[in-house]
């Protein structure tokens, strides 16, 4: 199953993410894959909004992970771009994945070996380099994420 969206403003991307964010549960893992500037951090702002987090969502590019505790569930926002060379084997990321919050991971392909079996992966594509069109493709792996997508976007 695949669910596709096309957006042409950051606000439209945030709105889709907020819809998903409202239905997130403890232990959910969301992977955001796509090039620099494709909209992964923008999408995370919407997820945070859906979780009731009011704090500004800042890219964790240099910190690897930022935690937000004041929403309906904790949000663990990771950007693992800098782990391309080293991997993440000794970082204990599974404690986040199995934890009481929601893990959102940008550039998850760089820690492919550390990921859980089930997750929702969202692919972001710029339609072309100059305009604001973005294609989003949601691919759930496992029953939990099928249900999440259905609850959030099913009719």
Contact residues toward ligand ADP (CB under 6 A) are: 7-10, 12-13, 34, 36-42, 59, 106, 132, 134
Which of Mg ion, ligand ADP, none does 132 bind, CB closer than 5 to 8 A by kind?
ligand ADP
Asked if 15 and 46 touch (Cβ cutoff 8 Å), the reply is: yes
Nearer to ligand ADP, 56 or 90 (CB): 56
- Say what the alpha-carbon torsion angle 149, 122, 27, 100 is, to the nearest 10 degrees: -110
Residue that is written with structure tokens 């999408």 in the block: 43
Nearer to ligand ADP, 78 or 102 (CB): 78
Nearest residue by C-beta to Mg ion?
41
In angstroms, give the least distance from the CB of 98 to ligand ADP: 25
Q: 40-50 vs 10-21: helix axis angle to the nearest 10? A: 40
Burial profile 23-48: b = 16 or more Cβ within 10 angstroms, e = fewer: ebeebbbbbbbbeeebbbbbbbbbbb
In angstroms, give the least distance from the CB of 49 to ligand ADP: 14
Nearer to ligand ADP, 72 or 123 (CB): 123
Which of Mg ion, ligand ADP, none does 52 bind, CB closer than 5 to 8 A by kind?
none
Nearer to Mg ion, 39 or 140 (CB): 39
Integer CA distances (angstroms), 61 to 16, 58, 96, 128, 129, in order: 23, 9, 18, 24, 22
Residues 10-49 that bind Mg ion (CB under 5 A): 40-41
């Amino acid at each position: 199953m695949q669910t596709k969206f096309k957006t042409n403003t950051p606000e439209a991307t945030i709105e889709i993410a907020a819809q998903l964010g409202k239905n997130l549960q403890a232990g959910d893992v969301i992977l955001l894959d796509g090039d620099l500037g494709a909209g992964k951090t923008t999408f995370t702002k919407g997820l945070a909004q859906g979780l009731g987090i009011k704090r500004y969502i800042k890219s964790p590019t240099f910190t690897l992970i930022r935690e937000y505790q004041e929403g309906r569930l904790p949000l663990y926002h990771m950007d693992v771009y800098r782990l391309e060379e080293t991997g993440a084997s000794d970082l204990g990321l599974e404690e986040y994945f199995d934890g009481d919050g929601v893990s959102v991971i940008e550039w998850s392909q760089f820690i492919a070996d550390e990921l859980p079996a089930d997750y929702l992966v969202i692919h972001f594509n710029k339609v072309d380099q100059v305009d604001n069109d973005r294609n989003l493709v949601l691919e759930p792996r496992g029953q939990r994420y099928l249900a999440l997508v259905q609850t959030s976007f099913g009719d």
